[in-house]
Amino acid sequence: MADKRPQFDYRHCMVCRICLYACPFGCLDDTKTGIDSHGKAYPALAQPERCTGCSLCARSCPLDAIAMKAV
């Protein structure tokens, strides 16, 4: 079980999907969240049981829209 999990700041997310591809464990998905008024489906931690807290998703985000938070 991970000590930390990604927390998304959707005010800064540009839905580039880089974090989805950066996660080596397939923890993230963009289909588990609502779609905003502009048609964007934001990333979310869809498989929390797979998350190891490696922070590759957070480190890959070009806008620092992901922070690793203690669970």
pLDDT in the model for residue 32: 53
Domains: count for the chain: 1
pLDDT in the model for residue 12: 92
Contact 38, 15 (CB under 8 A): no
Q: Look up the CATH number of the domain holding residue 62.
A: 3.30.70.20
**What is the value of pTM for the model shown?**
0.86
pLDDT in the model for residue 60: 98
pLDDT in the model for residue 41: 84
Spell out the per-residue pLDDT of the chain, length 71, in tens: 469 999 999 889 988 999 999 999 999 998 656 667 777 788 999 999 999 999 999 999 999 999 999 98
